[in-house]
Amino acid sequence: MIRREWDRSSQQMQALLDEAEKELTEIPRLCVLLMVNSRTGDFSITPTTLVLGLPEKGDGVTWISNQGPFVIQFRGGTPFKVAQFHSEEIKPSSLYMKKVLFPRKLKAGIFEYAVGLCTDGKAFVHVSGELSMNPGGNT
């Protein structure tokens, strides 16, 4: 049963990637995929930890879900100018996404965030996403 759920989650994640490639003109370089099993409440954040060195000009992180709207809330510090972001619906697809650009002066550190995602008439929260920033060093 656990293996079947994992296989289904992998297939759903691949479907999300396929949909993003079809709907978006360009897949973001730094992308985090969000999914939740609405039956069990199990979250998938891929990658769970995003490790970054010196970003390129205009770089940012893009969170994507095809299950419903979401919110990202950083806890105890953020590399961005604000700590909370809400997704935007990408019409006519069923994608929800939010790209947040890095500020000019990037803070180093490990920044934890929580995700709230609404799907199937329910709200789910996951608290272990992570950005590891090392703007002056190697990744």
pLDDT at 139: 46
Per-residue model confidence (pLDDT) at position 26: 64
Domains annotated for the chain, with CATH where assigned, are 2-133 (2.60.40)
Q: How far apart are CA 65 and CA 103, in angstroms?
A: 24
Quote the pLDDT of residue 37. Answer: 86
Regarding pTM above 0.85, the answer is no
DSSP at 125: E
Exposed (0-12), middle (13-18) or buried (19+): which is 25, by Cβ within 10 Å?
exposed
DSSP structure string for 25-81: SS--SSEEEEEE-TTT--EEEESSEEEE-SPPTT-EEEEEESSS-EEEEEES--SSS
Measured distance CA(80)–CA(126) in Å, rounded: 20
* Rounded distance between C-alpha atoms, residue 122 and residue 92, angstroms: 23
**Can you give the pLDDT of all 139 residues of the chain as single tens digits?**
233 343 455 676 677 777 776 766 666 677 888 988 888 888 888 887 877 777 777 778 889 998 999 999 998 888 888 899 999 998 877 889 998 888 877 778 888 999 999 998 999 998 877 888 775 555 4
The count of other CB atoms within 10 Å of the CB of residue 65 is 24
